[in-house]
Amino acid sequence: MEVSPVYMQSDDSEQDRPAYPRLFPTGETRKSDHLKAGLCVDFPVSVVLPAGGTGERTGLQTPKQFCPCLGRPLISYTVESFERVSWIQTIVVVVAKENIGLMMDIIQRFQHKKVLVVPGGSTRHRSICNGVAALGEQRRPAAHKPKVVIIHDAVRPFVDEDFLHKIAMAAKEQGAAGAIRPLVSTVIATTSEGYLDHSLERAKYRASEMPQGFTYDVICEAYKKCTESDFEFGTECLHLALQYCGTNAKLIDGPPTLWKVTYKRDLAAAESIIKETLSQSACLITGGLEAAVALANVLQKVFGALNMELNVTPDLMGGNARHLLEDWNFIKVSVDPFCPSEVEAIIVALEAGNRALLNPAVIIWMHLSVTEEPSTSRRATESAALIDLASTARPRNILLYGIRLHQPEDSEQWDRSASRVADIASALIRDRNPAFVGQLLQA
Ligand SMILES: Nc1ccn([C@@H]2O[C@H](COP(=O)(O)OP(=O)(O)OP(=O)(O)O)[C@@H](O)[C@H]2O)c(=O)n1
Ligand SMILES: O=P(O)(O)OC[C@@H](O)[C@@H](O)[C@@H](O)CO
């Protein structure tokens, strides 16, 4: 398994990675995730992410692993998922030679850690083989050969640490382990003339998915012994372990979220899941103002009905600053004159924590006028200030929107306009549409 890997070794230090929760494969963001006690693994584990394909079935020019989801290449989500698993030592990304520069740029831009970039091959097996070989050739003094290698398609972005742990432990015990899922369609065999020959009893079969795990020795031996035909036409690493090492993989039922992006529609599905995950909650800052607190109470009810959590806080100081680490969405309520510095302070705090590096943060400035309707000139001034702030925040992946509402005397009318504001705010958070950035919407 000779390969001359190209090493892009990103710094292993974790100190500048923001400690905020990661996307959960089930679309949930568990706030305590970054506080979650890590799963223990007492042997070295590394991962190989085959990403050397062209994604022909998407019909797109750009290989699907590099297609953007919310402005970030799909592969960056997969890398991030493994980066956050403390017991994963090295992430080997295997890309086509012509994409090595692009992959290095992605690593630099999103400050990915623990990553080696290795040239792929003409088939998936050849790419995986290159990745496995690179793990044995690591020249880094601190690195040593992994006991277990996890292989995971780079286009399966939703990775569950608990399941990875199961695969790694089973691979160590058994020599190989793989994720399986129930078949959705029945498998049939056709005659050479294109007619039905026979069908398989679906209940007896499963779909082989990723992640898979192997002891390093088993996967190395399998690739050393396999044939050119295996390299050219094979799609199953578990089969190689059985065929060439006599290793019967342990099969483990995987979560429904380990699906692979194959077609163009899958990219849209992946982006929708990511958006949904980022929009689970928001932090509303009242400044301690009575009218803002009253508005927050109404919004909390409406957000709850939309299955979104609204955390209300007077400010982002002291213990309240934790929201800067736990939320990607902020609503700043100001009463009467618009004070750009209040919103600017949130932008500065998000930047200081590098919070929008991987995922866009949303800030909604909610202007509640409790006295007379603002004059035309004041509206113009406020709109201009908002657009200015939004244009400086946008390059930092911070999306700033504005909503203006007037607090009417009549309580029923108040509830209606507050409910309208909540609908607008939740839509802005969920859609994260850059086109509305800097716009001052009227509730
Ligand atoms: N020569 C190859 C071919 C595929 N892969 C990777 O293997 C994974 C799963 O393969 P698949 O979904 O088939 O990707 P593509 O081969 O790119 O898709 P297509 O068959 O539609 O071209 C992908 O991450 C893909 O980049 C690889 O590393 N090297
Ligand atoms: O066949 P494709 O290249 O589309 O995708 C690879 C899949 O086959 C593979 O990930 C699982 O079936 C497990 O081997």
Q: Which residue has the least CA distance to atom 16 on ligand 1?
A: 53
**CA 443 to centroid of ligand 1, rounded, Å:** 47
Pocket mutation for ligand 1, best pick of 155, 208, 235 (most atoms within 8 Å of C-beta): 155
Spatial separation of the C-alpha atoms in residues 245 and 239, rounded to whole Å: 10
Counting ligands in written order, the one closest to the CA of 56 is: 1
119 Cβ below 6 A of ligand 1: no
Q: pLDDT of the chain along its 443 residues, tens only?
A: 444 455 555 554 444 454 444 444 443 444 434 334 557 899 999 999 999 999 999 999 999 999 999 999 999 999 999 999 999 999 999 999 999 999 999 999 999 999 999 999 999 999 999 999 999 985 654 556 899 999 999 999 999 999 999 999 999 999 999 999 999 999 999 999 999 999 999 999 999 999 999 999 999 999 999 999 999 999 999 999 999 999 999 999 999 999 999 999 999 999 999 999 999 999 999 999 998 998 999 899 989 999 999 999 999 999 999 999 889 999 999 987 778 899 999 999 999 999 999 999 999 999 988 877 778 888 888 899 999 999 999 999 999 999 998 887 788 888 888 889 999 999 999 999 999 999 999 88
The whole-model pTM stands at: 0.91
Ramachandran angles phi, psi of 286, nearest 5°: -95, -20
- Find, among 190, 42, 179, 49, the residue nearest to 127 by Cα: 49
124 Cβ below 6 A of ligand 2: yes
53 Cβ below 6 A of ligand 1: yes
Spatial separation of the C-alpha atoms in residues 336 and 379, rounded to whole Å: 11
Compute CA distances 416 → 223, 304, 334, 410, whole Å. 66, 16, 19, 10
Spatial separation of the C-alpha atoms in residues 249 and 406, rounded to whole Å: 65
Spatial separation of the C-alpha atoms in residues 163 and 258, rounded to whole Å: 10
Domain boundary among 251, 273, 295: 273
Which one-letter DSSP state was computed for residue 146? Answer: -
Per residue in 131-188, pLDDT tens?
Answer: 999 999 856 545 568 999 999 999 999 999 999 999 999 999 999 999 999 999 999 9
Spatial separation of the C-alpha atoms in residues 62 and 72, rounded to whole Å: 13
Same domain, 217 and 311: no
Contact 42, 147 (CB under 8 A): no
What is the number of the ligand 2 atom nearest to the C-alpha of 57? 4
Same domain, 370 and 226: no
Query: What CATH code is carried by the domain that includes residue 57?
Result: 3.90.550.10
377's CB contacts (< 8 A; 6+ apart) are none
262 Cβ below 6 A of ligand 1: yes
Burial tier of 263 (Cβ tally within 10 Å: 0-12, 13-18, 19+): middle
210 Cβ below 6 A of ligand 2: yes
Beta strands in 41-100 (DSSP E): 45-51, 68-69, 72-73, 88-95
Spatial separation of the C-alpha atoms in residues 174 and 22, rounded to whole Å: 30
Per residue in 395-432, pLDDT tens?
Answer: 999 999 999 988 877 888 888 888 899 999 999 999 99
Q: Which two tokens stand for residue 75?
A: 């592969």
Same domain, 237 and 260: yes
Residue 165 lies in a domain: yes
Same domain, 217 and 351: no
CB atoms within 10 A of CB 16: 10
Which neighbouring-strand residues pair with 46? 149
CB atoms within 10 A of CB 378: 14
123 Cβ below 6 A of ligand 1: yes
Q: Which two tokens stand for residue 233?
A: 């036409």
Same domain, 320 and 223: no
Domain boundary among 273, 306, 335: 273
Which residue range(s) make up the domain with 194? 31-273
Task: Indicate the SS3 state at residue 39.
Answer: coil
**CA 343 to centroid of ligand 2, rounded, Å:** 47
Domain boundary among 246, 273, 300: 273
64 Cβ below 6 A of ligand 2: no
Same domain, 299 and 351: yes
